Amino acid sequence: MNIKINSRKLTLIITAIWIVLWVNFILRDLLKRGALFEYAELLKRDAAGRRSFVYGDGLYSFLEFAKKKLPEGASFKIVGIEKYSIEHRRSVYYLYPRIESERPSHILVFGPKGYRMNGFKKIYELKGVCLILERSTSV
Amino acid sequence: MFDTLKVAVFVIMTLLPGYNVLLLIDGRKDVASLEGLGISYILGLGILSMEIFLLGMAGVDFNLWVIILPWAALSVMNAIRHKKGFFRYCSFKAQKYDLVEAGLISLVSLQLLYTFFRAVVRPIESYDSVAIHALKAKILYLAGNIPGSFFQDLAGNFHGAHPDYPLMVSFSEVWMYMISGGFDDFAAKWIFPFFFLFFTFVFHAVLYRIVQKRKAALFLTFFMVSIAQVSAYATIGSADLILGAFFFMGFSYMLFWLGDRSNKAYFMLSLLSAMLLFWIKNEGIMLAAILIPCLFSRLMRKSKKTLREELKPGVILFMLLLCAPILIWMLFVRYNGLVNENFNLSMVNIGRILQNYNKIPQILYEYQKHIFGFKKWNLIWIIMLILAVTGRRFVFSSHVFPASVCILAFFLSYTLVYMMSDVEIGFFLRTTTSRFLLHILPIGFIWVGYMLKPMKITEGM
């Protein structure tokens, strides 16, 4: 293979294939995977709206609700979100300085309707899908 | 939306330490203008994050003015000393570009703009970011200092936050919050595309120094920035691309210094970049260690007598200064009882390697998936493979040898880590290989750059 003679052609061919692949994967992301729609949607929204879009509207409403109702420094446990999933990580991050604990003062219920736990009483509810339970003082 | 003015202030304030340090060490004016700005931001972020950490550990509350004061003083000193030369990294001469060069610059700019857009349109949200770096940044910033029980609280209350992880990304975010005047999960995202932009400047300058052809350097720069995995990691707030950039700088400036031993700027740039490796990710310690055989691979080309002489000016000093902060950090981690469950020094033994030899096929299979999988990497690993085969007689030639040693040592080290770790190998490979490859990718381009010359591929450019 005479690389010296073909160096210009070689560069041209490699660059052409590279650009085709580059454009192809960007377009695939934008069109097939819906990134274009996502960006259009994100551009329409303010910061809270973008957060809501990225986190998922349901989860974000739940987190905003919990953030408003729980005092800073309160401890909580989340029910209804798989432990260590991305949603769980985002929730722990978003709710800080409220801290997740195995012996929580509050239980945040995302989803399961009618959730109950011994020693906790319901204190807030959002549209019947999110609950906040508080540890009963008598327990 | 985060204020444009605040972004500008953030960039200028971040440039300040690196810029002034660069003015101090680059007496011979070997560093080009855009390269200088790139180095300033990259080193600036490393220096500032370390400074905030050290002040915090000394019990000083986070205070913008305390942090910036020494650099403002140094700026005044440098301005008096250098006069007009103070702005030498900010002055650009108009250059003429042919059509191909202009096209390449446009493509690079397009990719950079797209990366900026993708980064700042979303808040902090990626897994590692919310579980580790940004979470720590939020805890630290809201505390206003480093609480005495910070590391213990992390270990106790935040499973998976890895309290032993180095803190450069977290403190960079704290720095952004200090400038923006409050916690803001959108503001922090600006750090990363700017890092990518400034790294692109350094990358191009380094590659230009290697291939000596502007067009060839631009081709390689375009290839690097357009790799999907690279641009994606410039948007999500992770530490992997940052580690790759520091490793690249540590390695490349070390080679330039070994080529011109009187050049203090290259010596210091390599040393500072390499010294900060441990501060970005735990893997940084291993990457700093890999630099030592790379250094010797260059010196080994000399006769025995010359090697002894070669060791005298700077090499021993380089190794000592490189090891000192790493040892201090390791002692700090040990003193605070911080242990990484995925991989730690207690796992390093030959018995484990021999015991886990059956992991090798799985590890190699994962590597080949990346080499031939152009969705994330485009053609870069395939090009490297073709160059290694067709130009095999140059792989161990004097110029290419250190980069070859670096790449081989990298793959050997990570393979050994995979073999010695207790983490289930399938999961470990799936979740880490694509990120680990970012650590070596920029040096892969240096290798390509050195290979192009003897293979005469750049002759027509």
Give the H or E element holding residue A42.
helix A35-44
Chain B positions in Cβ-Cβ contact with residue A60 (cut-off 8 Å): none
Instruction: Tell me which residue of B292, B275, B289, B75 sits closest to B168, measured CA to CA.
Output: B275
Instruction: Judge whether B56 lies within some domain.
Output: yes
Instruction: Judge whether B231 lies within some domain.
Output: yes
Do residue B158 and residue A92 have CB atoms under 8 angstroms apart?
yes
Q: Give the pLDDT confidence of B252-284 residue by residue, as tens digits.
A: 999 999 988 889 999 999 999 999 999 999 999
Give the H or E element holding residue A120.
strand A120-126
Instruction: Judge whether B139 lies within some domain.
Output: yes
Q: How many CB atoms lie within 10 A of CB B159?
A: 13
Measure the CA–CA gap between A95 and A105, rounded to whole angstroms.
Answer: 14
Task: Classify burial at B303, counting beta carbons within 10 Å of its beta carbon; exposed 0-12, middle 13-18, buried 19 or more.
Answer: exposed
> Which residues neighbour A52 within 8 Å (Cβ) at sequence distance 6 or greater?
A45, A60, A61
Instruction: Judge whether B122 lies within some domain.
Output: yes
User: Rounded to two decimals, what is the model's pTM?
Assistant: 0.95
Chain B positions in Cβ-Cβ contact with residue A100 (cut-off 8 Å): 157-158
Q: Note the pLDDT of residue A21.
A: 97
Mean pLDDT, range B334-342, rounded to an integer: 82
Maximum pairwise Cα distance, chain A: 88
Instruction: Judge whether B287 lies within some domain.
Output: no
Q: Note the pLDDT of residue A126.
A: 85
Chain B residue with the nearest C-alpha to that of A76: B157
Phi-psi category of residue B91: left, alpha or beta, with phi > 0 → left and psi -120 to 50 → alpha: beta
Instruction: Tell me which residue of B197, B222, B234 sits closest to B15, measured CA to CA.
Output: B197
Chain A positions in Cβ-Cβ contact with residue B138 (cut-off 8 Å): 93, 96
Q: Note the pLDDT of residue A139.
A: 45
Do residue A18 and residue B459 have CB atoms under 8 angstroms apart?
no
Q: How confident is the model at residue B219 (pLDDT cuts 50, 70, 90)?
A: very high
Q: What Cα–Cα distance (Å) separates residue B383 from each residue in B230, B372, B444?
A: 17, 10, 10
CB of A37 less than 8 A from some CB of B? no
Q: Note the pLDDT of residue B301.
A: 67
Instruction: Judge whether B355 lies within some domain.
Output: no
Compute the C-alpha angle B70/B72/B74, nearest 5°.
70
More confident call, B436 vs B261: B436
Q: Give the pLDDT confidence of B156-212 residue by residue, as tens digits.
A: 999 889 999 999 999 999 999 999 999 999 999 999 999 999 999 999 999 999 999
Closest residue to B457, CB basis, from A3, A26, A51: A3
Q: Domain of B188?
A: 1-238
Overall number of domains in chain B = 1
pLDDT at B307 over 70: no
Q: Are B89 and B40 in contact (CB under 8 A)?
A: yes
Q: Are B322 and B246 in contact (CB under 8 A)?
A: no
Token representation of residue B260: 């011109």
Instruction: Judge whether B199 lies within some domain.
Output: yes
Q: Note the pLDDT of residue B321.
A: 94
The neighbouring-strand residues paired with A99 are: A75
Token representation of residue B118: 């993708």
Q: What Cα–Cα distance (Å) separates residue A6 from each residue in A3, B104, B461?
A: 5, 21, 12
pLDDT at B441 over 60: yes
Q: Note the pLDDT of residue B302.
A: 57
Closest residue to B378, CB basis, from A21, A50, A97: A21
Q: Give the pLDDT confidence of B133-159 residue by residue, as tens digits.
A: 999 999 999 999 999 999 999 999 998
Task: Classify burial at B48, counting beta carbons within 10 Å of its beta carbon; exposed 0-12, middle 13-18, buried 19 or more.
Answer: buried
pLDDT at B69 over 60: yes
Q: How confident is the model at residue B2 (pLDDT cuts 50, 70, 90)?
A: low
Chain A positions in Cβ-Cβ contact with residue B124 (cut-off 8 Å): 93
Measure the CA–CA gap between A29 and A35, rounded to whole angstroms.
Answer: 6
Mean pLDDT, each 10-residue run in order, chain A (139 residues): 65 94 96 94 96 95 94 94 95 96 93 83 83 79
Q: Are A79 and A115 in contact (CB under 8 A)?
A: yes
Instruction: Judge whether B22 lies within some domain.
Output: yes
